[in-house]
A and B are shown apart, each in its own frame.
Chain A
Amino acid sequence: MEHYTMNLNLQVWRQKNKQDKGHFDTYQVSNISSEMSFLEMIDVLNERLIREGSDPIAFDHDCREGICGMCSMYINGKPHGPWEGTTTCQLHMRAFRDGDTIVVEPWRAKAFPVIKDLMVDRSAFDRIIQSGGYISVNTGNAVDGNSIPVEKEKADASFAAAMCIGCGACVAACKNSSAMLFVSAKVSHLALLPQGSPERKTRVLDMMAQMDKEGFGSCTNTGACEAVCPKEISITNIARLNAEYISAGLTEDK
């Protein structure tokens, strides 16, 4: 791999707090190594901003290895930037060329209000989980792990849905700002397992009600969510959620 350095023109959304209107600022960054990660490039810029006496760019990040789901930048029109199946923190600068202009925006959705600069409030996701994204089992109630056999194919499909990192890229990419991929991943994860079946109906109904309440849009099956998902969660989960919801909604006797 040949390494190179580059100069870039960054346009970054700056917003002091929730109330502030916000605007784009332009920054020239030079001598960026192709070996850096995207966030390290922002680190370099921030160090410079601090030394110059201005406010560094605030952004969410934590594990920097693509699993915690905290990082959340909308880079050149795509959540998490140009690579497939990648979080912002895994994106490296070799994805860019010398002289490129990079526009960095926060996730945009009314349900994800901006806290500062590129940080958004994703607590709506926590509230959706609170509404039913669990199996009600108190500590100590469990039977032996092997007393509940699970068909391997279903266990694998359940795991594939459970890989969701709750980053919100699906909402950011969806033209309707819908959280259906997120909700469907959780519904599928639990609906595919026998342990999840006692609460199967109420779970999907309650989680969807909460999603609507939080102000996310509805799904129109465009597939943009699947295309940006850093964990490549399949849109098939949304169809499964639909089936779960419709059958629960039509058969629940209350």
Chain B
Amino acid sequence: MKWSEFFTSSVGKKFIMGLTGITLILFLVVHAGLNACIFATLLDENDHGEMFNKAAHFMGSNVIPRLLEIGLFLGIFLHIIQGLVLEFQNRSKRGISYKVNYGNRGSKWYSRSMGLLGTILLIFLILHWVQFWIPSRFTGMEEVTIDGKQVHDLFGLMKTTFEEPWVVLVYVLACISLAYHLLHGFQSAFRTLGLRSNRYLRIVKGLGIAFSILIPLVFALMPISMHFHWVG
């Protein structure tokens, strides 16, 4: 079988979705862990975001994370493009739609709404890049000196950005979308990759639920705690 045949088959397409999905799940762990450094101020009054800025600097300057970042972006775009393609292709298979829909009687609403949830996340991502990633990587931003090194003051940028209530609201909504996207996507990715043993599926399901609650919660807490000056 040709590679092109494999990757354009319906299982092959889903295979890409599953693989990239799991990559993104791993990235979320890193991202959430790193961002959680902002909460260092809760433990150490003199931190003032230093730990977070240092970590961010490491991620932005070290060659390994930078290389991984390329992979990450490839993964994100593949996930997005493939996801949208699948969504439109799948939608086109019905023809005339039903008068009465099966709806939530046989499946969860979020499992049927991955395209919608994903699109919300994409819109959020664009905002998120504009606000943080592009300034940090390309257009430049304010800097602070830590241990004699000039580093980007991402902590400061967060503080100012999350002063705006609408931004906080958008971020929280995105986190909710992410939670539901993960609630289905986490276990679905493993099924798509062929996991079928009930013993393992039970573990994956449990992990998936925990992950879908924990990670978005950690993310959502950041704009909220910045906004209400719980940290900083």
Contacts and interface: CB of A to CB of B under 8 A. Distances in A.
A31 interface: no
Contacts of A105: 98-100
Contacts of B103: 77
A194 interface: no
A222 B193 contact: no
A222 B193 CA distance: 15
Given A77-B100, A246-B11, A240 B194 contact: yes
B11 A208 contact: yes
Interface stretch (A41-49, A135-143, A146-154, A209-217): A209-217
A26 interface: no
A218 B95 contact: no
Interface residue SS majority, chain A: mixed
B228 to A, nearest CB: 38
B10 A211 contact: yes
A110 B94 CA distance: 5
Contacts of B111: 220-223
A123 B77 CA distance: 38
Contacts of B184: 221-222
Contact of B93 (A109, A224, A227, A244): A109
B100 A239 contact: no
B172 to A, nearest CB: 26
A239 B196 contact: yes
B21 to A, nearest CB: 12
A77 B104 CA distance: 11
B95 A77 contact: no
A63 B87 CA distance: 38
A218 to B, nearest CB: 3
Contacts of A219: 10, 14, 192
Contacts of A77: 98, 100-103, 105
A173 B98 CA distance: 10
A82 B9 CA distance: 34
A131 interface: no
A183 to B, nearest CB: 10
A242 B191 contact: yes
A238 B198 CA distance: 13
Interface string A79-109: 1000000000000000000000001010011
A236 B94 contact: no
B62 interface: no
A246 B94 contact: no
Contacts of A37: none
29 contacts: A74-B98, A77-B101, A77-B102, A79-B102, A105-B99, A108-B97, A109-B93, A109-B94, A173-B102, A173-B106, A175-B107, A175-B112, A211-B10, A217-B10, A218-B13, A219-B10, A219-B14, A220-B14, A220-B90, A221-B111, A221-B184, A221-B188, A223-B108, A227-B107, A228-B102, A236-B196, A245-B9, A246-B194, A247-B194
Interface of A: 11, 22, 24, 74, 76-79, 103, 105, 108-111, 173, 175-178, 180, 205, 208-209, 211-212, 215-224, 227-228, 235-236, 238-250, 252, 254
